[in-house]
Amino acid sequence: MIQRMLYKKIAVATSLLLVILMLYLIPSNKNEIKMEERLEYVYPKEIDTIYLLDSYDKISRTEISVNKDDEIEKVKELMEGLTINGRKQDKIPNGFKGVLPIGTKVIDASLKEGILRINLSKEFNNIKINMEEKAIEAITYTLTSIEGVDKIEILVEGEKLEYLPNSKKQLPKYLDKKYGINKEYELTTLEDIDSYTVYYVMNYNEMIYYTPVTKYVNKQGEDKVKIIIDELASNLAYQSNLMSYLDNNIKLLDYEIVDNTIKLDFNEAILSDITSGKILEEVKYTIGLSLCDELKVKEVVFIVDDQEISTFSLKSIEK
């Protein structure tokens, strides 16, 4: 009897000890969780668009993690990503690299009424002649992808960059996507020149990304929406590693632009599977990115047989 009572007391004491130990550990764990939450709040990292040099020597669209607390700080971080051996070097996706000379820094930057004024250090002038245009294209397309940035003004050590350092090519007063990227010329005369930009699918080690190409042509008397769709549906799109997943039987029947949205009415050839009514992601992206750049719209709606099948939105991919 005494032995059983002794065992019972030992069991109760052991249980109390375990309860005290758990009460001691649980608050500590909560503090650690709260600390982790605070650290996550202090250092928010999100994905943003950046245009880098790919393995095919083209400036292409990819993504990189940045701190999005402040627009100007975001500009500086993206410029670090564009700089060879910059601080964001370890964040750049495989197969891509920066285009700005080593040591290039953003001295200061300001954003007013949609114009981003960015002052670069003298190291920018060390750029090689074959990289000058690529650098301007990468800066322009990267920074105008930021919400609220419509145009870029570049300075070097406080002096406006009016000419490229080596080729002495004159730059426009303000840079925007009209400057072009990965330029191709299909001209028969130097008069009545027009341009449009098409995004193609690229592949590096099974990673899909998108490359814009600005084509300079003599005015054809057609609207650019149809020209871009026809270009993507053409078999010629498979040249130079540039791909398009659009079937050449795809037909744009009609379209309508309302505010910041364009609605495209296609025949059934746009569908990857008629029974499921789905459109390939690559098809949505090549059409969506091309038209958003060219028309300054934010959303592309795909319609087949009077039904909305899918929507491409810049806002959803820039989060």
Q: Which segment of 39-48, 69-78, 128-137, 164-173 scores lowest on mean pLDDT?
A: 39-48
Specify the higher pLDDT residue, 74 or 32: 74
Per residue in 285-313, pLDDT (tens digit) is: 999 999 999 999 999 999 999 999 999 99
pLDDT value, residue 12: 47
> Both tokens of residue 141?
């397309």
Q: What is the pTM of this model?
A: 0.83
The H-assigned helical ranges of the chain are 2-42, 71-82, 132-143, 224-233, 281-295, 314-317
Q: What is the pLDDT of residue 235?
A: 55
CB 262 within 8 A of CB 277: no
CA distances from 317 to 38, 292, 295 (A): 27, 12, 18
User: Average of pLDDT values for 114-138?
Assistant: 97
Q: How far apart are CA 268 and CA 305, in angstroms?
A: 8
CA–CA dist 280, 271 (Å, integer): 7
Q: What proportion of the chain, given as a percentage, has pLDDT over 70?
A: 82
Sheet of 299-304, strands arranged across: 252-258, 261-266, 299-304, 307-313
Q: Looking at residue 7, what is its pLDDT?
A: 44
What CA–CA distance (Å, rounded) separates 291 from 255? 12
* Nearest C-alpha neighbor of 198 from the set 272, 292, 315, 77: 292
Q: Is the pLDDT of residue 252 over 50?
A: yes
